[in-house]
Amino acid sequence: MDRLRAIEAFVSVAEEGGFAAAARSLRLSAPSVTRLVSELEAALGARLFHRTTRSVNLTEVGTRYLEDCRRILAELEEANSQAAGRHGEPEGWVSVTGSALFGRLAVTPVLFSLMDRYPGLAVSTLFVDRVVHMMDEGIDVAIRIAELPDSSLVASKVGSVRRVLCAAPSYLEKHEAPKSVSDLNGHQLVDFSQSRSGSQWSFMTDERSVSHQPETRFRVNTADAAIAAALDGRGITRVLSYMVAKEVAEGRLEHVLVECEGAPVPVHVVHKEAGQTSARVRAVVDHLVEELRVSPLLGH
């Protein structure tokens, strides 16, 4: 058995979600990939996948083994690059994740300049409005907009954003702008929430935290929809500052209750432990940190 080829097949099946997809990615036949994985399982004396007619899922052993295999393949690629005299010239694929709107507005332009800077790099993105588990989903770099829990990941703070209330001038002409949190009860509110039960808006007044449950006729699960509603004069919504920076600068939206905003939310570039970082991942991290720290969308 070619152990390295078998490991590559195993990782590809895990990342592609199936043997047929892995076979296409590796340009092998599906039976060949199946054979390689079966031989690897036999050599290890452990099952790496739960197989059914409809799905292929990692076992507990397979999940742990996958992380080690990814690290081994990354270190091997780095060793090959150094042996070939390409050290310092990063190349290969790097995966990046972040929230959907921040990915589109802030990260994608930075990735364009990254690829211009390093012609050998290729980038895949996963911009979604959920927390992506980097180890499980094979992600190299993440941009997190949140306070970070302690973990084995390495984080570099690049700035912060604010939770802001905003409305269109046309709405504020018809409805007096709120002067206190309690005034929100008399306004039309657009609730941007991933929860079907709605969100709790938190504010700071007189140096103490105050919560407000928005009563609304319109609850949306995307920032784009909330912003569109506000632009149409449908009421006051609450989003992160970077999401409406352009609209506020153009005068199409206005901030309200600025004095009641809570603490800024930090933004970090996150990657795996320093000892596991390849040259290509380090190049991406360094470029993202350098560019995002001067981004006009972030507070610094």
Q: Model confidence over 244-264: pLDDT tens digits?
A: 999 999 999 999 999 999 899
pLDDT at 275: 60
* pTM beyond cutoff 0.85: no
Is a pLDDT exceeding 70 seen at residue 193? yes
* Domain 163-260 class, CATH top level: alpha beta
Work out the angle at residue 63's Cα, subtended by the Cα atoms of residues 62 and 64, and round it to the nearest 5 degrees: 90
- Predicted confidence (pLDDT) per residue in 62-108, tens digit: 988 988 888 888 778 777 766 665 555 788 889 999 999 999 999 99
* Domain 92-159+265-292 class, CATH top level: alpha beta
For 290, the enclosing helix (H) or strand (E) is: helix 279-292
The answer to whether 251 and 231 have CB atoms below 8 angstroms apart is no
- Predicted confidence (pLDDT) per residue in 128-167, tens digit: 988 888 877 778 999 999 988 766 688 999 999 999 999 9
Residues 6 or more apart whose CB falls under 8 angstroms from that of 298 comprise 106, 158, 159, 160, 161, 242, 267, 292
Same fold, 3-83 and 163-260: no
Give the start-to-end residue ranges of the domains of the chain: 3-83, 92-159+265-292, 163-260
pLDDT at 124: 94
Tokens standing for residue 21: 């997809």
Size (the chain), residues: 300
User: Which of the four CATH numbers 1.10.10.10, 3.30.360.10, 3.90.1580.10, 3.40.50.300 does domain 3-83 have?
Assistant: 1.10.10.10
| Residues in a beta bridge with 58 | 49
pLDDT at 136: 73
